[in-house]
Amino acid sequence: MAADSCSWFPALAVGVSLLKCFFISAYRSTDFEVHRNWLAITHSLPVSRWYYENTSEWTLDYPPLFAWFELGLSQVARRFDANMLQVENLNYASPATVLFQRLSVIVTDVVFIYAARECCRCVREPKGSRDVLSRPSFVLAVLLLWNFGLLVVDHIHFQYNGFLFGFLLLSVAKHLQSQHLQGALLFAFLLNLKHIYLYVAPAYGVYLLRSYCFAQDNKDGSVRWSSFSPLRLLALGAIVTSVCALSFGPFIAMGQLPQVLSRLFPFKRGLCHAYWAPNIWALYNVLDKSLAVLGVRLKLLEEAELPPASMTGGLVQEFEHSVLPSVTPAVTLVCTLLSILPAVASIWLRPHGAQGFLRCLLLCALGCFMFGWHVHEKAILIAILPLSILAVESREDAGIFLILTTTGHYSLFPLLFTPAELPIKVVLMLMFTIFSFTALRKLHSAQGSLLHPLEVIYLLGLVAVAIACEVVFPLSPWQQRLPFLPLLVTSVYCAMGVCYAFLRLYASLLLRREEKPKQL
Amino acid sequence: MQTWSLVSICVLLAIIARWGVSLNSYSGAGKPPMFGDYEAQRHWQEVTYNLPIQEWYFNTTNNDLNYWGLDYPPLTAYHSWICAYIAKTINPEWVELHKSRGYESTQHKLFMRMTVLVADLLIYIPAVVLYCLYLTDGSSKKKVSIMFCFLLYPGLILIDYGHFQYNGVSLGFALWGILALGLGWDVLGSMAFSLALNYKQMELYHALPFFCYLLGKCIKTGLIGRGLFLLVRIGVTVLATFALCWLPFLAEPSQAMQVVRRIFPVARGLFEDKVANTWCSLNTLIKIKSILSGDSQLYLSLACTLLAVLPSCIRLLTKPTFWHFKLALVNSSLAFFLFSFQVHEKSILLAALPACLLLNDLPLMALWFLQASTFSMLPLFLKDGLLVPYIVTSLGFLFFSIYLLSALDHCSEDKLRLGAYNKLFYWLPKMDLAFIVRWKFYISIAAMVGLSIATAVLIPPPHLPDLFPVLVSTTAFLHFLGTFIHFNVVQFSEPPSRKSQKKSN
């Protein structure tokens, strides 16, 4: 392999882009049709109709900037196959359409590749020329570019997350490089592209306020109130409001804001997605279910009194818990806020620079993932990708990273349920896992093992779960009676790992807070 | 990072590439009445499962040989038979006699693709991994890079996983043979190669180098004494392996004769379709097929083939080293491809396998030839709807082989083994041959890219419907001829002075 200092980055990028091309004719989910429909809506309808159009059930429910992005794509799409741009052509998927849509994801990933490059630049390189394969920047580049979750969600399942994560990582990189205004601008764009990134907005808000608007700290790291710079706050405010105005302005002018917001935040959906994301609510549901079963067994509950067992029905609907109190959106909101409060408070009190910000961002993402309303399993990527940056720098984070990525990635398995894609997901996952384990171990080899034996046993348990769910279960008679059992087992088993990683990450943030002042 | 993890990541990537290609269409998909090679393989499963072994190669009421009759040696038939048993347990409709003709479904496709992958995982991929780990030199990273390029050779992936065939099995056996010979296990090697021969008769392309290498080695050890003993052991092994494979057909001479007649269909013409060999390319100038009778075509091609093979084989006989063996394998298979009778475009894979073995020693030449060999099958890929995988795998192979093997970085005259040309053309003014070769490489890649685009996009003029296939095959032919001459020259020049020459034993 060429020992040249940075020739490996283009090689990795080209390699993964070609790999993505292999999946052009693979399985694609309904999200493919969702995005085709949005192309059609933005291309063939006036702006005023965008958020009202409902010929297809997949209405436009991303913020306006993303709609503009789709409009841009549709200009190219016209040259591939103009028929895909008609709103009435539901489920239209000619070969040219598939090729165009797939290529659009692969090409817009350039943003992600550039962001990964910037992130690699922020990593401290240890002194002395080491083997390319065990340099932190190389490892980080692979962890980001070849991320299993992104490959599966974007290039097989079909979404534009790579493009969006490009903005997020680029903004994080800008913060790491202390270019806060650029970082804020990028994040404002990101929020107006996809509002799921509101998850991490508290971290941004507090960090920018604390570390940018207050120019100086006291000796002990606490905030120095006198150093407040109104000019900086004004600049930040101007950036954020101008981006939002650019995005939402036309709709406010047309008086459509309530309609747009009702599309963006559909609270009519249930607590959990059809397949439960591995979070607290998955555990809560299972606890409720087992209490109900136990209650019926012990004759404490009457079976007839219980609400029908709709939660394993796999439909996106609200359902009532049988024993435990039902969860409302307000409760999830309070839980979420409570869960991220310590993290946000911690960076307010002791910012610890951009590293502390990154940690807080992760905790916000994970907190929302753990307690949020109707969370998708794909949202775990918001935590996994930025955590890669920390994983190459510290041993403890590397351990957390391994647990979180392995469980988080495994929890994406049910996204691809077609037999033809089974080898792909298994092999891709194996590849990424083998790389992350060996590379991170090599990177932190001087400081002992990364995982506790119990953690290793837990992760090995995933293999057992995988074999049981993917191989044994489909052949067993239970397939007929309990078709959703594998999903349930997967999400519960993964939920434990994600919870554990969340707690450890919290511990690392809070404990570090006490360590640092001693060193000063 | 440890070697094992690099190796496993490479193998996993190779599997991903293979499976990624296999998601695409196969030959003859939805094209009744004859379909394509996919249906041929399925039909063989049907025949071998339902009919007694004596009927496999005969035209009977239940076995219409005109509809994809078995024309490969017994091991292929046994392989089909095993696959058929598995198919039967999954879905009996897949192998039902007569009724299953032209059966196509997504599940069946998945099953067929899986059989190819399993065969590859069992035979071809381990052989490549072991070869690269034990018989190439350099750091472990270098070995892994070679392995990566070897495994990602697009031609084989596209034919096996796109078009649909089991070349990985026969090539894998041949590679096991080469591996064993390289490690000095001559008896095991000859057994593996006999298996390859019994899987596909095209492995005869490799037979002469195997024979010459082993014979040369026996002679070197002394024909009276240990050499003779070795020769006898090898001979007995080969005969025993063959006898074992042919056992059910040996009861009656007519059975065995019928198998042989099926395997070598001399009644077919000198060439079919547009294949990048001498006869087809010559055909654009002289219509050989109409000038010569069938028999004289056969003799002509036989004579030319022998003449072309002879130099490298004699050289190997006198210098039976592993280096010469590898070169002779390329030279012999290319000679067969260029001059022999009834060559298919897919047969270039037989020359590509030994060229992969040279990726370590002569990276630029090897990858150039490998790229040309993939390109030569372009019309076939287009017919099968494999344009996208063709582009992806070719670009990937070209990029990674140049990058990982630093093929263009060190191309001095010495590295490219161009010294012999200076001696051959001593009467010419001295030129910078490495420079010329490099530019020839760029131009040739540009030509291949241009022709690929033209074939895929442009519509040929009505009076020349075959314009692009002919251009493709002629371009590829020129590459093959050039490679053939070059590797012969390399074989006759001094072997590499460095340690890169791995002698057997």
At B325-383, the pLDDT tens digits run 999 999 999 999 999 888 888 999 999 999 999 999 889 999 999 999 999 999 999 99
* Digit-coded pLDDT (tens) for B253-276: 888 888 888 888 777 777 777 788
What's the mean pLDDT when you consider all of chain B?
90
pLDDT of B110 reads: 95
Residues 6+ apart with CB under 8 A from A61: A263, A264, A266
Q: Per-residue pLDDT tens for A191-201?
A: 999 999 999 99
A438/B5 touch (CB, cutoff 8 Å), yes or no: yes
State which residue of chain B sits closest to A23, comparing Cα positions: B20
Flag whether residue B69 sits within 8 Å of chain A, measured between CB atoms.
no
Burial state string for A86-116 with b = 16 or more CB within 10 A and e = fewer than 16 = ebebeebeeeebbbbbbebbbebbebbbebb
- Nearest-neighbour CA in chain B from A4: distance (Å): 11
Contact with chain A for residue B78, Cβ under 8 A: no
Residue B302 in this model has a pLDDT that exceeds 60 = yes
Q: What one-letter code names the amino acid at A346?
A: S
Neighboring chain B residues of A22 at a CB cutoff of 8 Å: 16-17, 20-21, 23, 389, 392
Q: Do A420 and B392 touch (CB under 8 A)?
A: no
B residues 123-152 lying closer than 8 A (beta carbon) to A: 141-142, 145
Residue A262 lies in a domain: no
Structure confidence at residue B241 (pLDDT): 95
Distance from CA of B470 to the nearest CA of A (A): 28
pLDDT of residue A307: 61
Minimal CA separation from A19 to chain B, in Å = 7
Does residue A419 belong to the interface with chain B, where contact is any CB pair within 8 Å?
Answer: yes
Instruction: Determine which of A361-375, A501-515, B306-320 has the lowest per-residue pLDDT on average.
Output: A501-515
Q: How many domains does chain A have?
A: 1
* pLDDT of B427: 75
At residue A516, does pLDDT exceed 60? no
DSSP-derived letter for residue B60 is: B
Residue A27 lies in a domain: no
Q: Which of A4, A22, A471 to mutate to test the interface with B (most CBs of B within 10 A)?
A: A22
B24 touches chain A (CB under 8 A): yes
Taking the Cβ of residue B122 and every Cβ of chain A, the question of whether any pair is shorter than 8 Å is answered with no
Name the band, by pLDDT with cuts 50, 70 and 90, for residue A315.
Answer: very low
User: Is A335 within the bounds of a domain?
Assistant: no
**Rounded distance, CA B203 to CA A94, Å?**
42
Mean pLDDT on B38-59: 92
Q: Which domain holds residue A313?
A: 272-326+374-512
- CA-nearest residue to A442 within chain B is B1
Per residue in B156-176, pLDDT (tens digit) is 999 999 999 999 999 999 999
Higher pLDDT, residue A328 or B399: B399
**Cβ contacts from A onto B, under 8 A:** 82
Closest-approach residue (CA) in chain A for B20: A22
- Is A6's Cβ below 8 Å from some Cβ in B? no
**Confidence band for A316, pLDDT divided at 50, 70 and 90:** very low
Whether residue A99 lies within 8 A of chain B, CB to CB, comes out as yes
- Condensed to tens digits (0 to 9), the pLDDT of residues B413-452 reads 777 777 777 777 777 777 778 888 889 999 999 999 999 9
Does the distance separating the beta carbons of A427 and B23 come in below 8 Å? no
The whole-chain average pLDDT of chain A stands at 87
- Output the six-digit token pair for A312: 């394993």
- As a whole number, mean pLDDT of residues B121-145 equals 94
Q: What are phi and psi of B432, to 5 degrees?
A: -80, 90
Residue B408: band (very low, low, confident or very high) from pLDDT cuts 50, 70, 90: confident
- The answer to whether the bond into B33 is cis (omega within 30° of 0) is yes
pLDDT attached to residue A249: 92
Q: How far is A398 from chain B (nearest CA, A)?
A: 16
Q: Which residues of A touch B106 (CB under 8 A)?
A: 420
B327 close to B487: Cβ distance less than 8 angstroms: yes
Residue numbers in B near A1 (CB within 8 A): 141-142, 145, 404
Give the highest mean pLDDT range of A120-124, B136-140, B211-215.
B211-215
**Amino acid letter at B288?**
I
* Angle at the Cα of A320 from the Cα atoms of A318 and A321, rounded to 5 degrees: 130
> What average pLDDT does the segment A149-153 reach?
95
**Residue B214: per-residue pLDDT:** 94
pLDDT tens sequence across B189-229: 999 999 999 999 999 999 999 999 999 999 998 888 888 99
Query: Is the pTM of the predicted complex or chain greater than 0.90?
Result: yes
What is the nearest CA distance from B469 to chain A, expressed in angstroms?
Answer: 24
Q: Which residue has the higher pLDDT, B421 or A285?
A: A285
CA distance A122 to A112: 15
Chain B contact for A317, CB < 8 A? Answer: no
ipTM of the complex: 0.91
% of chain A beyond a pLDDT of 70: 93
Of the residues B388, B394, B395, B404, the best mutation for testing chain A's interface (the one with the most A CB atoms within 10 Å of its CB) is: B388
- pLDDT number for residue A129: 58
pLDDT band of residue B501 (cuts 50, 70, 90) is very low
**Residue B412's pLDDT band (cuts 50, 70, 90):** confident
Confidence tier at B123 by pLDDT (50, 70, 90):
very high
Predicted confidence at residue B273, as pLDDT, reads 72
Q: Could you tell me if A1 lies within 8 Å of chain B, comparing CB atoms?
A: yes
First to last CA, chain B: 31
Q: In three state form, how does the secondary structure of A12-50 look?
A: HHHHHHHHHHCCCCCCCCHHHHHHHHHHHHHHHCCHHHC
Counting residues of chain A whose pLDDT is more than 90, the rounded percentage is 59
What backbone phi and psi angles, to 5 degrees, belong to B501? -85, 110
Instruction: Determine which of A97-111, B39-53, B407-421 has the lowest per-residue pLDDT on average.
Output: B407-421
Do the domain assignments include residue A490?
yes
Band of pLDDT at residue B33, cut at 50, 70 and 90: confident
H helix or E strand, kind and range, residue B400: helix B387-404
Going by pLDDT thresholds of 50, 70 and 90, the confidence category of residue A334 is: very high
Cα separations in angstroms, A54 against A251, A266, B355: 17, 15, 59
Express each pLDDT in A377-432 by its tens digit.
899 999 999 999 999 988 889 999 999 999 999 999 999 988 899 999 999 999 99
User: Does the pLDDT of residue A449 top 60, yes or no?
Assistant: yes
- Please check whether residue A129 lies inside any domain of the structure: no
pLDDT at A2 (0 to 100): 38
Q: If pLDDT is split at 50, 70 and 90, which confidence band does B496 have? A: low
On whether residue A198 sits in a domain, the answer given is no
* Residue A24 touches partner B, C-beta closer than 8 Å: yes
CA distance A421 to chain B (A): 9
Partner-chain contact A438 B16, CB within 8 Å: no
Buried b (16+ CB within 10 A) or exposed e, A254-278: eebeeebeebbeeeeebbbbebbbb
Q: With bands split at pLDDT 50, 70 and 90, how would you rate the model's confidence at A319?
A: low
Looking at residue A310, what is its pLDDT? Answer: 47
pLDDT higher than 70, residue A304:
no
Q: What residue type is assigned to position A84 of the chain?
A: M
